[in-house]
Amino acid sequence: DFQMTQSPSSVSASVGDRVTITCRASQDITSSLAWYQKTPGKAPKLLVYGASILQSGVPSRFTGSGFGTYFTLTISGLQPEDFASYYCQQTHIFPYTFGQGTKLEIK
């Protein structure tokens, strides 16, 4: 199975900051990588797929990049609603494993 490793596991930042989360795959997954946002009490929300394609309706301050085994999600100009947990997921092959998550907290 493909293992997905995210870092950091948690990060503190302020409104207006820029934050980057990384995700590494144990094997080459080309661009088959998605990012989700999870806030307590809500269902997960798709942010990015195909490593860099922004899902419709997602603000442009979210940027995904990467290919192969190394990927990043960058949030520029943090807004209060962005403080949540973020998960990467490989969508290359079954089982579609998630990373362990990154919790973005307010400093």
Partner 1 sequence: EVQLVESGGGLARPGRSLILSCEASGFKFENYAMHWVRQAPGKGLEWVAGISWGSGNIAYGDSVKGRFTISRDNTRNSLYLHMNRLRTEDTALYYCAKPRTATPGVLDFWGQGVLVTVSS
Q: Which residues bind partner 1 (CB under 8 A)?
A: 1, 32, 34, 36, 38, 43-44, 46, 49-50, 55, 85, 87, 89-92, 94-101
Give the tokens for residue 39: 């806030």
Task: Name the residue nearer to partner 1 (CB basis): 10 or 12.
Answer: 10
Task: Name the residue nearer to partner 1 (CB basis): 80 or 94.
Answer: 94
Task: Name the residue nearer to partner 1 (CB basis): 69 or 97.
Answer: 97
How far apart, in whole angstroms, are the C-alpha atoms of residue 1 and residue 96? 9
Task: Name the residue nearer to partner 1 (CB basis): 37 or 69.
Answer: 37
Q: CB of 106: closest distance to partner 1 in angstroms?
A: 19
How far apart, in whole angstroms, are the C-alpha atoms of residue 88 and residue 4? 8
80 burial level (CB within 10 Å; 0-12, 13-18, 19+) = exposed
Residue 40, CB-side half-sphere exposure with 13 Å CA sphere: 4
Q: CB of 34: closest distance to partner 1 in angstroms?
A: 5
